[in-house]
Amino acid sequence: MPYRYLLFYKPYNVLSQFTDNSPPGQARLTLKDFISIPDVYPVGRLDHDSEGLMLLTNHGQLQHRLSDPKFEHPRTYWAQVERIPTEEALDILRQGVKIQDYKTRPARILMIAEPDLPDRDPPIRFRKQVPTSWLEITLTEGKNRQVRRMTAAVGFPTLRLIRVAIGSAKLQRIDTSLTDPPLQLTGLTPGQWRDLTFEEVQALLKLFHRR
């Protein structure tokens, strides 16, 4: 069976798995409601209340390699947070912040302008007297609800979270080289998926053969 590699734009409130064990009458949307390709599985996961890029494949060894935190494959998110973070708070996030009994790895954190994104359904809660801002956050690990816990730990709760890239952060926006390009959300709308291009597959396979 040939290998398949898919990119999917997971909408809000969709489980990042193909089955739902909820009681009858409480069923939630899953990947099965959007993707009919047999025997592909997600590389990592996104929480049901997060949106954005997912990679799915039937290449089991590659799936394991990209999911293993020891290989530190970057993932980039856009986070809408309450209020305007201070530079001190951003530096804490960059250096690593303690969440519960764990200190996060150093992260790449940038303040960005509000991105052009599809409206979320339902929309985030809006409080007229409380401004919001956007952060671009690149992690090399994926602890449970990590971005939300990180921003909350420094006093700026996350309201909306979208994964926008999987791959090398240093190439994001500044280099179109195919030596190690990020997989990006560009060109997809919520609920859409596509096969990776030949160049994207070759870049993934290079990651697989490293170390």
Q: Give the pairing of strands 51-57 and 5-10.
A: antiparallel
175-208 burial: b if 16+ Cβ within 10 Å, else e:
eeeeeebbbbbeebebeebeebeeebbebbeebb
Residue 32, token pair as written in the block: 């099965």
Question: Choosing from 33, 47, 49, 180, which is the catalytic residue?
Answer: 47
Q: How many CA atoms lie within 13 A of 168 on its CB side?
A: 16
Active site residue 47: yes
Q: Under 8 Å CB-to-CB from 100, ≥6 apart: which residues?
A: 149
For 57, the token pair is 């494949």
Angle at 163 between CA 14 and CA 4, to 5 degrees: 75
Q: Which residues are catalytically annotated?
A: 47
